[in-house]
């Protein structure tokens, strides 16, 4: 049997490449599932296989064939219209499971995908943060600005608000300023929250958003 590898299901952007580079630097082997029209072509310097978005079954078989015990799912993805996916049988079953929870939040959708792969394929899903130590946010104050008590109060309110929307699976982020929640993320996502905040910005949002 070939040496154990870490699999990567690569979406768009540079992060899949960064994860692959760090895996190789740690003297581990990697195998990448690259999605046509989505994954950056620079991924081709690593062992890989190109396929359509909907070929989930083929992806899982190739990961098993390449002895991938762990899988990192990383990179952005805009899911195309279902009728243009042409999913294989495994993909069809997964998409059916996702269809049943289509009105749920991101956390429930991601949990469903992880459980499906781990139980059906026996490949463990691991976080990309395990291979991105060099670009993760460090602890502590990252600016030269002193933190005031009012800032602490805003931080506490932001933590409380994010915990509430996280528990309800409606979002993960919010904007807080001067003791008020200006806007919180909903099912439309972070980008929409930021867009709405900028579009409707007033003095409070400008201060809270850019400080």
Sheet containing 29-35, strands listed edge to edge, beginning at the edge strand earlier in sequence? 48-51, 29-35, 5-10, 68-74, 124-125
- Of the listed ranges 55-64, 65-74, 149-158, 165-174, the least confidently predicted one is 165-174
DSSP string, 42-77: GGGGSSEEEE-TT-HHHHHHHHHHTTEEEEEEESB-
pLDDT at residue number 176: 92
Tens of pLDDT along 61-98?
999 999 999 999 998 766 555 444 567 777 777 777 76
pLDDT at residue number 208: 37
Report phi then psi at 188, rounded to 5.
Answer: -80, -10
- Of the listed ranges 12-21, 31-40, 146-155, the least confidently predicted one is 146-155
Domain with CATH 3.40.50.20 in the chain: 5-134
Torsion over CA of 50, 51, 55 and 61, rounded to 10 degrees?
Answer: -30
> Is the distance from CB of 89 to CB of 60 less than 8 angstroms?
no
Going by the DSSP 8-state scheme, the letter that residue 135 receives in this structure is: G
Select from 1.10.3720.10, 1.20.1250.20, 3.40.1190.20, 3.40.50.20 the CATH code of 5-134: 3.40.50.20
| Highest mean pLDDT, choosing among 23-27, 89-93, 100-104, 187-191 | 23-27
Mean pLDDT of the chain: 83
> Is the distance from CB of 12 to CB of 77 less than 8 angstroms?
yes
The residue-averaged pLDDT of 123-146 equals 86
Residues contacting residue 205 through CB under 8 Å, at least 6 positions apart: 175, 177, 182, 183, 197, 198
Q: How far apart are CA 211 and CA 196, in angstroms?
A: 18
């Amino acid at each position: 049997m070939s040496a154990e590898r870490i699999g990567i299901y690569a979406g768009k952007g540079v992060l899949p490449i960064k994860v692959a580079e760090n895996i190789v630097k740690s003297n581990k082997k990697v195998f990448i599932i690259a999605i046509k029209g989505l994954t950056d072509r620079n991924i081709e310097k690593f062992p890989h296989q190109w396929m359509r978005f909907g070929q989930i079954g083929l992806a899982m078989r190739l990961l098993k064939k390449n002895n991938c015990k762990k899988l990192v799912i990383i990179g952005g993805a805009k899911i195309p219209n279902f009728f243009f996916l042409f999913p294989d049988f495994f993909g069809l079953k997964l998409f059916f499971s996702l269809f049943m929870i289509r009105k749920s939040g991101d956390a429930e959708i991601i949990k469903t995908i992880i459980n499906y792969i781990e139980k059906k394929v026996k490949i463990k899903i691991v976080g990309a943060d395990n291979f991105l130590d060099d670009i993760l946010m460090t602890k502590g104050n990252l600016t030269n600005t002193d933190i005031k008590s009012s800032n602490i109060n805003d931080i506490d309110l932001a933590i409380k608000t994010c915990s509430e929307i996280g528990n309800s699976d409606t979002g993960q982020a919010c904007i807080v300023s001067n003791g008020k929640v200006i806007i919180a993320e909903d099912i439309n996502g972070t980008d929409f929250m930021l867009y709405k905040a900028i579009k409707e910005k007033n003095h409070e949002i400008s201060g809270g958003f850019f400080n």
